[in-house]
């Protein structure tokens, strides 16, 4: 059942606009994404966490096109890609080494538990790109995968590249049994340098910022994953005494941008020898990494006319 308290991102500001925030809670959409794949639980957990981070980060940027979060690493999970379009369509996939993941799992005592992403990612980079189509400049941000979890990596990015005071928290809840489902949540706070000046001089902006962060850290997983609580209610509990203004709610859905035509164009650019090697009984089949849709072509279709 679709729960309207989830699969959206709510924008807010507090303390007379000095700090902006986003709260995202995902349910159905993470399960749709993960069900498209059949990844080991640890890979699913990392992908779910990256999806939440991608929604949070993309929601702080004004863009018309495609936001992509990408991880490249030498770890057991070598690649993660999450796409978020400006109209709220998300797709995500990962590449990983199954044997290495199994081996790492055997070495750890915390079997069954979800562990922070860097255990599986190792040395690498976390990158964000915003593509707004031809004739526009591609925006890119990049940071080393360092820190004890994905949150720390993202915070390092804000500190180094954007130089915006930021705090954020990510939460992932794995299914308890076969029938259970995934849930994720995230909350982000940013200090807006130009708006900070609006606060009366006698109020110490740093004191307010620290208070806002402490309130955010007091959030409990049970509240975030409570199906009967809306994000507005959660924000009210946290920030009702901080001039809370809830400004916008954006909905998200799963959406893959693959199509038979796109794939056909790609395959037509292949060398005829490669096509020959891929063909089985004159048919070539290709599967979309994001949505696992399988496309089958006749060899004749792939020859340039």
User: Measured in whole angstroms, how far is the alpha carbon of residue 54 from the centre of its chain?
Assistant: 3
What are 284's two structure tokens? 């070539």
What is the nearest approach in angstroms of Zn ion to the Cβ of residue 256? 3
Q: Which is nearer to Zn ion, 226 or 293 (CB)?
A: 293
The distance of Cα 245 from the centroid of its chain, to the nearest Å, equals: 25
Quick one: how far is CA 128 from the chain centroid?
Answer: 10
Nearest distance from residue 289's CB to Zn ion, in Å? Answer: 8
In the complex, what is the shortest distance from the CB of residue 290 to Zn ion, in angstroms, rounded to a whole number?
4
Q: Which of 46, 47, 70, 191 is nearest to 130 (CA)?
A: 70
As measured in angstroms, the least distance from the Cβ of 181 to Zn ion is 22
Pick 223 or 293: Cβ nearer Zn ion: 293
Which residue in the block uniquely carries the two structure tokens 């750890």? 108
- Judged by beta carbon, residue 18 or residue 93, the one nearer Zn ion is 93
Q: How many CB atoms lie within 10 A of CB 47?
A: 28
| Rg of the chain over all Cα atoms, to the nearest angstrom | 21
Residue closer to Zn ion, measured from CB, 258 or 278: 258
Residues in contact with Zn ion by the rule CB under 5 A: 256, 258, 288, 290-291, 293
**Min separation Cβ 46 and Zn ion, Å:** 20
**Residue with Cβ nearer Zn ion (150 or 291):** 291
Q: What residue has token string 């991608």?
A: 54
Determine which helix (DSSP H) or strand (DSSP E) holds 193, and give its type and residue range. helix 193-196
* Residue 72 vs residues 24, 67, 119, 184: alpha-carbon distances, Å: 25, 16, 14, 22
- Residue 78's CB: how many other CB atoms inside 10 A? 18
Write down the least CB distance from residue 258 to Zn ion, Å: 3
| Residue nearer to Zn ion on the CB measure, 177 or 261 | 261
């Amino acid at each position: 059942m679709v729960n309207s308290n989830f699969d959206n991102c709510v924008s807010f500001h507090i303390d007379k606009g000095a700090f902006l925030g986003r709260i995202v809670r995902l349910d159905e959409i993470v399960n749709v994404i993960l069900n498209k794949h059949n990844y080991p639980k640890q890979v699913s957990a990392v992908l779910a966490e990256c999806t939440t981070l991608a929604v949070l980060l993309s929601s702080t940027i004004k863009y018309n096109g495609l936001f992509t979060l990408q991880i490249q690493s030498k770890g057991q999970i070598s690649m993660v890609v999450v796409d978020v379009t400006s109209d709220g369509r998300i797709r995500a996939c990962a590449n990983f080494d199954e044997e290495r993941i199994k081996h790492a799992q055997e070495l750890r005592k915390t079997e069954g538990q979800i562990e922070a992403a860097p255990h599986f990612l190792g040395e690498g980079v976390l990158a964000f790109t915003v593509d707004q189509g031809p004739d526009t400049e591609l925006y890119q941000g990049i940071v080393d995968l360092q820190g004890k979890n994905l949150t720390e990596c993202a915070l390092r990015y804000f500190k180094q590249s954007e130089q915006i005071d930021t705090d954020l928290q990510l939460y992932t809840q794995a299914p308890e049994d076969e029938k259970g489902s995934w849930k994720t949540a995230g909350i982000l706070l940013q200090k807006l340098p130009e708006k900070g000046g609006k606060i009366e001089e006698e109020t110490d902006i740093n004191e307010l910022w620290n208070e806002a962060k402490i309130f955010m850290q007091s959030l409990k997983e049970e509240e975030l994953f409570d199906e009967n609580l809306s994000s507005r209610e959660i924000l009210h509990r946290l920030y009702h005494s901080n001039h809370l203004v809830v400004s916008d709610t954006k909905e998200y859905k799963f959406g893959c941008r693959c199509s038979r035509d796109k794939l056909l164009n790609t395959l037509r650019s292949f060398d005829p020898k490669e096509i020959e090697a891929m063909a089985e009984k004159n048919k070539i089949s290709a599967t979309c990494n994001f949505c696992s849709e399988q496309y089958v072509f006749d060899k004749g279709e792939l020859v340039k006319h």
